[in-house]
């Protein structure tokens, strides 16, 4: 099993550009989520999904869109990048959305917006 | 408002000694707590968890203690090893909230020889 994979590992964007961060998992997990990590802030939840076709907002959703058309994939879209979105982005998955359970994290995407 | 707080940004411990990492929370709805370990340029990895129905959970060298009345938990690592040097995040969630984790800001542990 590859676990949770994320692409790209690094990305530099100009203000106003759009892009999609890819996330895939091969563990047949129902629950997937996106976090961002900023210095001194820990990890903050952006969006999450409890299954294909179901998504919801987390703590910091503004400027990001998600969709979940399959169990395996959960892409994160930046519609118009801003310097405030410079961060490290982590995708995570877990086997149950109803009960607390361990989440498995991908290796992260480091995004810089100029 | 930071609902999960790790007030010590860093901690240095000698190899073989005990490392104690602390975490406080303010949300009374949190009933499940997790510790994650993170190395540079990698994603966080799960270390140990505890449900609010327990006050202690042990896994090898790692023990987590939960004091619900004080809204405080701690992670003990005994004995500490150089490979334990990493950033440790405390996280909390509530049953029925789709495993949405609220993270603390992390504590960087350095285990010295």
Q: In order along chain B (113 residues), what is the average pLDDT of each group of 10 residues?
A: 92 98 96 95 95 96 97 98 97 83 96 95
Give the contacts of B105 (CB within 8 A, at least 6 positions apart).
A40, A41, A42, B2, B5, B6, B9
pLDDT of residue A39: 86
Contact status of B35 with chain A (Cβ, < 8 Å): no
pLDDT of residue A99: 64
Which chain B residues are Cβ-neighbours of A48 within 8 angstroms? 98, 100
Point out which residues pair with B65 in neighbouring strands. B56, B74
Low-confidence ranges of chain A (pLDDT < 50): none
Q: CB A42 to CB B99 under 8 A? A: no
Q: How many CB pairs below 8 A link A and B?
A: 71
Signed CA dihedral, A97, A103, A107, A110: sign only: positive
Test mutation, A6, A42, A68, A104, chain B, max B CBs within 10 A? A42
Give the contacts of A94 (CB within 8 A, at least 6 positions apart).
A29, A30, A31, A101, A102, A103, A104, B99
Give the contacts of B97 (CB within 8 A, at least 6 positions apart).
none
Contact status of A96 with chain B (Cβ, < 8 Å): yes
Please identify which residue in the block is written with the tokens 């609010």.
B52
pLDDT of residue A98: 57
Rounded CA separation B31/B97 (Å): 11
Within 10 A of B88 (CB to CB), how many other CB atoms are there?
A: 23
Contact status of A39 with chain B (Cβ, < 8 Å): no
Instruction: Say which of B32, B43, B105 has its CB closest to residue A100.
Output: B32
pLDDT of residue A85: 97
Q: State how far residue A84 is from chain B, nearest Cα, in angstroms.
A: 18
Rounded CA separation B57/B106 (Å): 20
Rounded CA separation B101/B32 (Å): 10
Calculated CA dihedral for residues A29, A33, A36, A40, nearest 10 degrees: -80
Query: What number of H helices and E strands is found in chain B?
Result: 0, 11
pLDDT of residue B98: 65
Residue whose C-alpha is closest to residue B88's, from B48, B56, B50: B48
Which chain A residues are Cβ-neighbours of B101 within 8 angstroms? 33, 35, 43, 45, 103
Contact status of A48 with chain B (Cβ, < 8 Å): yes
């Amino acid at each position: 099993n590859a676990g949770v994979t994320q692409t790209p590992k690094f990305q530099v964007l100009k203000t106003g550009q759009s892009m999609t961060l890819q996330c895939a998992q091969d563990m047949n997990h129902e629950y997937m989520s996106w976090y961002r990590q900023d210095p001194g802030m820990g990890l903050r939840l952006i969006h999450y999904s409890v299954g294909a076709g179901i998504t919801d907002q987390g703590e910091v959703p503004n400027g990001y869109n998600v969709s979940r058309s399959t169990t395996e994939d959960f892409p994160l879209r930046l519609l118009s990048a801003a310097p405030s979105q410079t961060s490290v982005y982590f995708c995570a998955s877990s086997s149950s959305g109803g009960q607390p359970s361990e989440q498995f994290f991908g290796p992260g995407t480091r995004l810089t917006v100029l | 408002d930071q609902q999960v707080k790790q007030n010590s940004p860093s901690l240095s411990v000698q190899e073989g000694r005990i490392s104690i990492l602390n975490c406080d929370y303010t949300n009374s709805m949190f009933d499940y707590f997790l510790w994650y370990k993170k190395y540079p340029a990698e994603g966080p990895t799960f270390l140990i968890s505890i449900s609010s129905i327990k006050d202690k959970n042990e896994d090898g060298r790692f023990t987590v203690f939960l004091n619900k009345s004080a809204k405080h938990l701690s992670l003990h690592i005994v004995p500490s090893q150089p490979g334990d040097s990493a950033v440790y995040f405390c996280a909390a969630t509530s049953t029925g909230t789709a495993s949405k984790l609220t993270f603390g800001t992390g504590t960087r542990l350095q285990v010295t020889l």
